[in-house]
């Protein structure tokens, strides 16, 4: 096995693990709440509450940080995006109007942009060690 292939295996495994973690996080935060709430004025909200979506976002942030800070930024982007896309598809595909596909597409685009930006920021951030450079 060549070194190039050997170097890719950990990244692929990281992406697969992150996809599973992202799908599990979706199931844990959003998957159990399927009922819309009827408000007193007759309008409907939901099925998700704001705290559920915020919880999912913070959980995914931890996954992105953990992966990107260990030089697995591309695995974070690919894995989390894939996991969220699969979870959204499985959660929403019973919609008979077919509009769930638009929602899944928006999840893919949003997660690509956000995980890509966060991964870039995390990998480019260099902590200040507090040591002055020579001559300063």
pLDDT tens digits, 66-121: 999 999 999 999 999 999 999 999 999 888 888 999 999 999 999 999 999 999 99
SS3 127: coil
In a domain? residue 134: no
**Domain span at residue 66?**
3-34+46-124
- CA proximity to 91, closest of 107, 75, 111, 67: 107
DSSP conformation class of 32: T
In a domain? residue 39: no
In a domain? residue 111: yes
Give pTM, 2 decimals.
0.83
In a domain? residue 133: no
């Amino acid at each position: 096995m060549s070194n190039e292939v050997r170097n890719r295996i950990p990244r692929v495994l990281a992406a697969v693990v992150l996809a599973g973690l992202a799908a599990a996080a979706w199931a844990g935060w959003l998957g159990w709440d399927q009922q819309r709430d009827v408000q007193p004025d007759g309008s409907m909200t939901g099925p998700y509450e704001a705290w559920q979506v915020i919880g999912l976002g913070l959980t995914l942030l931890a996954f992105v940080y953990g992966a990107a800070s260990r030089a697995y930024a591309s695995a974070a982007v690919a894995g989390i995006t894939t996991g969220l896309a699969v979870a959204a598809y499985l959660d929403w595909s019973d919609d008979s109007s077919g509009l769930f596909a638009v929602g899944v597409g928006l999840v893919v685009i949003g997660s690509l942009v956000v995980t890509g930006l966060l991964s870039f920021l995390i990998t480019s951030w260099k902590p200040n060690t507090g040591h002055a450079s020579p001559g300063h």
